[in-house]
Amino acid sequence: MFHPEPMIEVEMIVPEKDILAVTRVISGQGVFQLTDDSQLNSGKESKNAEAWQEKAAGFAGLERRIQTMLQTLGAGEGQPPSGEPETMVDLDQMRQEVEKYEPDVRKASDQIGGDNKRIEQMEAVQRQLEPIAGIDVDVSGLRRAHYTYMVLGSMPAANIQRLETSLSRVPHIFLPLRQDKQTAVVWLAGSESNADILERAMRSAYINPLALPEGYNGTPTEIIQNLQANIEAARADIATQRQALASLRGALEQPLQALLWQVRTSRLLVDAIVHSGKLRYTYIVVGWIPVARFERFKQRVKQVSKETLVESFPVDRNRPAEDVPVSLHHARLLGPFQSLVTTFGRPRYNEVDPTWVMAIMFPLLYGAMFGDAGQGLVMVLGGWLLTSRKVKALRGLAGLGGLVIACGTSATIFGLLYGSFFGFETVIPALWMRPIDNIMTILIISIVAGVVLLSLGFLIGLYNAFVARDWARFFFDHNGLVGMVLYYSLLGLAAGLLLGSKMPVPSIVFTIGAIISALIVAFSEVFIRLMEGERPLIEESLSTYPIQIFFELFETVIGFLSNTLSYIRVGAFAVAHAGLSLAFFNLASLAGPAGSVGYWIVLVIGNIFIVGFEGFIVAIQTMRLSYYEFFTKFFTGGGKTYEPLTLNPSKQES
């Protein structure tokens, strides 16, 4: 719950005759992440490995070709076969099967692609001819000019006079064919010997030449009509080809899906062999597996190969474990919060997994800033619609449904505490207090809540360092024990200034604590290098080192201050939320008396705006408080993703 799933490193020595049977278990179980051990191959074993690599490339190529055919037909990949793969199929036989289906699918696809390309070209010509559709000019005559430079195009009407002036000394013909206030369609002609001058004048006047289509004769209107007829004919041909593809889909969908899974299964089996080390008569297979699934996996391997030697090496969290894959295994309800964590970074194997903290903290912060019972219920309904996938356009956002439901539920609870229902503050009583009537109180509570959360971040960071036995980070890091002492000393001094004689602890205690901890923080790099046995203790020049430690200490203190004050936005948004609702009530009163149609229309629009726009802004602020204020106190990140070999990668944990 509090850490990534415990992992175990497994090393198997597999007899050559059993390698296929064992790799079938590896692929079928979907829990074993292979480690590339192919560097052991040399000599004859190296040639053997190259043969397997060629076979893997062949299967991968066939898999892509089958996927392309399925996509062309508009068919899905289907479901993977249950259980472990039966056997490896013959590559040449599969290639013949693919080549049997490809021509028909490719023919229909190529014809549709060619027709679509022709339609795009003809529509582009149509758009170019539309500005001169009303001009009675045979464009075929313009194309056949041999000794004359001619341009038919559109230009800003304001540039006509400038163009005529620039060409006053050059023999030419310039005819504005159609003109309005903004644009003019013009025809410019002159001698071929003056083509360079005419082109420069054309560019300076911003003439946009119109492309005259080949193969079409007559006036622009006649050409547009011919183009439209050809476009309709091409679309009819596309419809015919789509019907042919639909028929092909009915006939080929199931055979292609079965073929895909046969090829994919074989490709996975070959990949497993490729990543294994080959000795003379055995293979060495190394990888990672969750501890909870190891015994079942081992039993299955032994069932298919009694001679396989299986060794396991559990991984302690109190040692560096950068190479250990991280599996975050949570209940489905925590899935959205796990995604929030992995968006920021994947925790390392020996770090606390903050998903459970995020599942509590994120909705609480969101609800405190967006407290309204009615609007919260709307969010719950919206989250349910997302998770139900009933709205086709929103199916891509289904993963956010659980998060929206959690935040909406929290907003509803805080709305009851604040006494707010769709912005009305007289419908239900406040079970706690109304933020807009207790501004200073809610802001102070927000800061106190920030101190509590930052303290939790410090404690988790200390726990991570303790588990990893990283004592230098535990004691001397800016977010370690000495940083925590400095933070609380500064809080004590600030509280002493506010409370004066009412302060239970003498200010001298916090002053001494602040001075000592500040000095240790300033020279933390020296202490860390001393504990880790690194030399020299100071890498920088002695002349610049005092400046560096001053600014690092200054940055640390300012960081503590800004992190704490950042949580004031929780109370500020709670007040602003009530203020925004009040603003819409004022607008509604201008639209009509209370209870009128105009009054309710404004209130409905206002609530939609608040739920949509302000709800999104509050989500961003909640993420900021979680990521940049809270996570930075303990979260290192950079964990390696757990990617077991499986037939269906889409089912893997993200």
- pLDDT tens digit sequence for 469-503: 888 889 998 899 999 999 999 999 888 887 776 77
> Which of 138-147, 260-269, 533-542 reaches the highest mean pLDDT?
260-269
pLDDT-based confidence at residue 211 (cuts at 50, 70, 90): low
- pLDDT given at position 525: 85
Task: Pick the range with the lowest mean pLDDT from 194-203, 392-401, 509-518.
Answer: 392-401
* pLDDT at position 43 over 60: no
pLDDT-based confidence at residue 199 (cuts at 50, 70, 90): confident
pLDDT-based confidence at residue 654 (cuts at 50, 70, 90): very low
Instruction: Measure the CA–CA gap between 94 and 340, rounded to whole angstroms.
Output: 42
Choice between 555 and 183, residue whose per-residue pLDDT is larger: 555
- Average pLDDT (612-637) is 92
- Average pLDDT (273-297) is 86
The Cα-based distances of 64 to 267, 273, 332, 534 in angstroms read: 11, 21, 32, 52
Among candidate residues 257, 343, 285, the one with its CA nearest the CA of residue 77: 257
Contacts of 292 (CB under 8 A, 6+ apart): 5, 6
The Cα-based distances of 506 to 293, 430, 491, 511, 528 in angstroms read: 56, 39, 13, 9, 32
Task: Pick the range with the lowest mean pLDDT from 28-32, 80-84, 107-111, 516-520.
Answer: 80-84
Instruction: Measure the CA–CA gap between 467 and 471, rounded to whole angstroms.
Output: 10
**Identity of residue 158:** A
- Average pLDDT (317-337) is 83
- pLDDT given at position 38: 66
- 562-579 per-position pLDDT tens digit: 999 999 999 999 999 999
pLDDT-based confidence at residue 85 (cuts at 50, 70, 90): low
- 174-194 per-position pLDDT tens digit: 888 777 788 888 878 888 888
Angle at 53 between CA 52 and CA 58, to 5 degrees: 95
E strands, 16-105, where?
A: 33-35
Please determine, looking at this structure, whether the domain spanning 135-218 carries the CATH number 3.40.50.620.
no
Choice between 27 and 320, residue whose per-residue pLDDT is larger: 27
- Average pLDDT (20-46) is 75
Two structure tokens written together for 429: 């009583």
pLDDT-based confidence at residue 621 (cuts at 50, 70, 90): very high
Is the distance from CB of 388 to CB of 591 less than 8 angstroms?
no
- Residue 345 CB coordination number (10 Å): 15
Residues in the chain: 654
Angle between helices 507-522 and 481-499 (to 10 degrees): 150
- pLDDT given at position 1: 63
Is the distance from CB of 149 to CB of 198 less than 8 angstroms?
yes
* pLDDT at position 197 over 70: yes
* pLDDT at position 16 over 90: no
Two structure tokens written together for 197: 């001058």
Percent of the chain with pLDDT over 90: 32
- pLDDT given at position 515: 92
Among candidate residues 176, 173, 178, the one with its CA nearest the CA of residue 149: 173
- pLDDT given at position 534: 77
Is the distance from CB of 453 to CB of 564 less than 8 angstroms?
no
The Cα-based distances of 194 to 142, 143, 148, 153, 164 in angstroms read: 17, 18, 9, 18, 15
In the chain, domain spans:
10-102+242-314, 135-218, 332-633
Task: Pick the range with the lowest mean pLDDT from 132-136, 282-286, 314-318.
Answer: 132-136
**Regarding beta strands 325-326 and 640-641, do their DSSP bridges make them parallel or antiparallel, or are they unpaired?**
parallel
**Average pLDDT along the chain:** 85
Is the distance from CB of 366 to CB of 405 less than 8 angstroms?
no
Choice between 537 and 597, residue whose per-residue pLDDT is larger: 597
Choice between 641 and 536, residue whose per-residue pLDDT is larger: 641
- Average pLDDT (199-218) is 77
Element spanning 66, H or E: helix 44-73
Distance from the first to the final alpha carbon of the chain:
17
pLDDT-based confidence at residue 361 (cuts at 50, 70, 90): very high
pLDDT-based confidence at residue 202 (cuts at 50, 70, 90): confident
- 218-250 per-position pLDDT tens digit: 777 888 888 888 899 988 888 888 888 888 888
Angle between helices 615-624 and 568-591 (to 10 degrees): 170
Percent of the chain with pLDDT over 70: 92
Element spanning 187, H or E: strand 183-191
- pLDDT given at position 23: 84
- Residue 612 CB coordination number (10 Å): 12
Backbone φ and ψ of 421, nearest 5°: -140, 105
pLDDT-based confidence at residue 366 (cuts at 50, 70, 90): very high
Q: What is the largest CA-CA distance in the chain?
A: 102
Long-range own/partner contacts, residues 578-582 (CB < 8 A, 24 or more apart): 578/418, 578/420, 578/423, 578/425, 578/434, 578/435, 578/436, 579/436, 580/610, 580/614, 581/372, 581/420, 581/423, 581/606, 581/610, 582/423, 582/436
Residue with tokens 């009615």: 374
The Cα-based distances of 239 to 72, 235, 236 in angstroms read: 14, 6, 5
- pLDDT given at position 28: 79
- Average pLDDT (334-339) is 90
Instruction: Measure the CA–CA gap between 386 and 172, rounded to whole angstroms.
Output: 66
* pLDDT at position 365 over 70: yes
Choice between 48 and 628, residue whose per-residue pLDDT is larger: 628
Backbone φ and ψ of 306, nearest 5°: -65, -25
Two structure tokens written together for 204: 């300076």
Among candidate residues 143, 138, 128, 130, the one with its CA nearest the CA of residue 209: 128
